[in-house]
Amino acid sequence: MQRLISVFMSMLTVGLLFTATAGQAANYRVTLAEATGERTPVIRNAAWVCNGTECATATARSGPANSCVHVVRELGPVTEFTADGEALSEDELAACNARAR
């Protein structure tokens, strides 16, 4: 039963990643400096799907800079942060990692 619930939650999370529409939520992808393992943290009401150093969400409603800071606070420093296909610059990443401390 527990495995069935786990599979259902995984499918639901993946479904959420692909159902967001422009104007409602943004598609964010992040590469972490250190692997976090396979997990689905909820950060600022957005479910993130993580596997190793890669995490993604399609339900973030905060801007990229704010979302980046909250991800760093929860999961650790990031080496890349992409919002709707556009990566934050090196300066923006440095600011994100610094603000999260």
- Whichever domain contains 53, its CATH number is 3.30.70
Q: 28 by DSSP, 3-state: which?
A: strand
List the pLDDT tens digit at each of the 101 positions of the chain: 666 555 455 555 555 444 443 345 779 999 999 999 899 999 999 999 999 999 999 988 889 999 999 999 999 999 999 999 999 999 999 999 999 88
pLDDT for the residue 26:
78
Residue 72 in contact with residue 96, Cβ under 8 Å? yes
pLDDT for the residue 37:
87
Structural domain for 49, as ranges: 2-99
Q: What total number of domains does the chain contain?
A: 1
The 10 Å Cβ neighbour count of residue 79 is 13
